[in-house]
Structure 1
Amino acid sequence: MGFGSYDESEQENQELDAELDDDEAVTAGENDHDGQVDFEFTASNDELLEKLEDIKE
């Protein structure tokens, strides 16, 4: 066998439990928040561009 040893009949006999309860579902707006995020940059644009060039190399 190629990729590890397993019984191929086990592949065929697997049952998928695709039933989802509404209680377990995640809604898209469940984790929304109305907040503000501030960032403070200590590096200059030239320093950041230099780091970018180093990363590209």
Structure 2
Amino acid sequence: MEKLFPKVVVGCFILNDQNEILLVKSHKWPGLWVVMGGHIEWGETIAHTAEREAKD
């Protein structure tokens, strides 16, 4: 039996000067808009993950 483990991810709320949130079209769920984010690489901090995902 395959063991399942939780997947740790980060979501980034990026605001502009008018406090509007940046949303992107989801590649995983067609027709939906999501905040930017992604999974944490081994040894990476949450802050570094958020920075990397925002740059991607």
TM-score range, shorter chain: under 0.3
| Greater C-alpha radius of gyration | 1
TM-score by length of 1: 0.22
Q: Quick one: higher RCO (CA 8 Å, sep 6+), 1 or 2?
A: 2
Q: Which has the higher strand share?
A: 2
